Amino acid sequence: MQHHDDPWLWLEQIDTDEARAWVDARNAATEAELQADPRFAPLCQRLKGILDSSDKIPYVGVHGGWCYNFWRDADHVRGVWRRTTLDEYRKNAPDWETVLDLDALALTEDENWVWAGVSWLEPDAARCLVLLSRGGGDARVVREFDLTLPGFVADGFTLPEAKSDVSWIDRDTLFVGTDFGPGSLSESGYPRIVKEWKRGTPLAAATTVYEAAPGDMAASGYQDNSPGWERAFVLRQIDFYTSELFWRRGDRLLRIDKPLDASAFALRDQLVIELRSDWTIDGVTYPQGALLATGFDAFVAGSRAFEVLFTPTPMTSLDGVAATRSSLLLTVLDNVKNRIVELRREDGRWIRREVAVPGIGSLGVSALDSDHSDDYFLTVTDFLHPTTLYLMRSGSDAREPLKAMPAFFDAGPYEVSQHTATSSDGTLVPYFVVAPSGSAAGASGPTLLYGYGGFEVSLKPFYSGMTGAAWLEQGGTYVLANIRGGGEFGPRWHQAALRQHRQRAFDDFIAVGQDLVARGVATPRQLGIMGGSNGGLLVGAALTQRPDLFGAVVCQVPLLDMRRYHLLLAGASWMGEYGDPDDAEDWAYLARYSPYHNVRPGQRYPRVLFTTSTRDDRVHPAHARKIAARMLDQGHDVLYWENTEGGHAGAADNAQTARMVALTYTFLLRQLGEHAA
């Protein structure tokens, strides 16, 4: 299919009168049906209460001795950025100091500001760059902020709205990548030129440090300000999975000789490399998924003698790495359950020990201050137990409980089990089931299957008051699938479904659905599927390939038109994942599963709810618009809902999130409950 053959191209024009009228009409029809359901209003109110709850865990990052938190509730719709001390944070009701009130700022400036994060000047953290988004998109405005005031810096560093990449070199100098004019952005819309920008000079006077090739994904610069180990680096991101790293020494860029598909970072006197493919060097082969370390200076001088910090097995993979002052903390996935390994460097060697932590569910580690402290935060969570936040210290297994999320739903009637389904090629695919226990177990009922299967993203057990209140307490069973394309078993699990092998991810997901039906968990009419972004592509493919297996589909901020995805917004950056539609060989396999091109008139499909956001500047809303328009034109019964704000998250504040989730679960309850009988 050629681009000019597409009758729905006009829906790629985001805010034309014609496109807006189409969206408004679809929104009105969807809201009229779902908001009329008697479950919608109380469910929306309950979800809003969960999101606004003052009992949620206020997660913090520690900078310059302060604990910083961004918080939304009923009184702070857009949010408040605040800080406190660690001693105060230990209390049940800490005394917070407001640093920036986003509601007040939005009102004063008449802007729909959404918080987009902070870039810190370390190690003292007296200055930062505040990132603000209009409506929740990836494009941000950048403003310098003084934490000693606190307040914005008059005549400080500022950048207009763009998909900028900025970081501090020192108090008066930045690495900056932004829209410098024609040719300065990659085909993906990201900066490909890195410049050094001095305080008090116009952006036009910034000097070029590095320029990536026009076909590269992006380029960026960053400074490691670890005391005594200060180094500057430039990263050339060739595509999503390949990159070059350069050490900037004065005006020279020295290439770090790592494999292109490996990631690397400096940790004081060490260089740490994570492999995505086998690497044979100096007669030694290091396996895919391994983590290696060597002396930084020795590596630059030509040595290739590594210590192996982690070696994967068929059931284990590296899930995360965090550094404290004197240790490296590895979060390991073992059959989709986490454990923690601590590595300490003693007498020139890395010493390993297992950290005694809860052995079920998901664990998350973040250092308080990697330059000056061995303290770190540990989060512990699973499907039925509210998340708990602990303070720990490397070298010890002692855990100090800091915060615990309240129970937002009654978990007593439910149990969690892990199963495997056999995919079409014989691969065993694990999945979790959260279902009624005891006498209610074994009876089929409304079941929601969630998946992602891409970009080496792992789906792990999590606690969600939203899922509990909106689905489990309404009689539903929840299923989380760990299909290929994800990272649950390391790079091999991801690469098994890469590019021309994408169908394997869809086959795995379908196999889980078939296994649920075979085990009597749900009938096809009771089985719904949900996915967002790449997961939207997943459920879109499942919709077109096995419409008989499912009773409802929720397709969120989806990628669906695989012929034009690389021409829309950030789409070109994903060709390493999916392939190039302009290459005939790639298009041959993309065409076989592209949901937009495979919906057919006369075919019976389960009912679909497509959701997206006008302000999504990552995955273009036209993906959802166009397939909904095509299916409606073919006579299919679909629902469509587009939030005007929210970016790729789909919602910009708690009220919008509650409304979106209430619409979604009301749809599922209607389709998989009484309508599935």
* Residue whose C-alpha is closest to residue 217's, from 240, 183, 246: 240
Distance of alpha carbon 398 from alpha carbon 407, whole angstroms: 25
Burial, 227: exposed, middle or buried (Cβ in 10 Å; 0-12, 13-18, 19+)?
exposed
Cα–Cα–Cα angle for 192, 198, 204, rounded to 5 degrees: 55
Q: Are residues 329 and 276 in contact, defined by beta-carbon separation less than 8 angstroms? A: no
Residues in CB range of 612: below 8 A, 6 or more apart: 556, 557, 558, 619, 621, 623, 624, 625, 642, 643, 650
533, 573, 594, 613: which is the annotated catalytic residue?
533
Active site (annotated) includes residue 648: yes
CB atoms within 10 A of CB 204: 9
Question: What count of residues does the chain have?
Answer: 677
Distance of alpha carbon 617 from alpha carbon 638, whole angstroms: 24
DSSP 563-625: TTGGGSGGGGGGHHHH--TTSHHHHHHHHHH-HHHH--TT----EEEEEEETT-SSS-THHHH
Residues in CB range of 439: below 8 A, 6 or more apart: none
Burial, 443: exposed, middle or buried (Cβ in 10 Å; 0-12, 13-18, 19+)?
exposed
**Token pair 């009938």 in the structure block, residue:** 523
**Token pair 């979790």 in the structure block, residue:** 432
CB atoms within 10 A of CB 169: 21
First vs last Cα of the chain: how many Å apart?
40
Q: 3-state DSSP: the chain helix, strand, coil percent, rounded to 5? A: 25, 35, 40
494, 620, 623, 648: which is the annotated catalytic residue?
648
Query: Catalytic residue positions?
Result: 533, 648
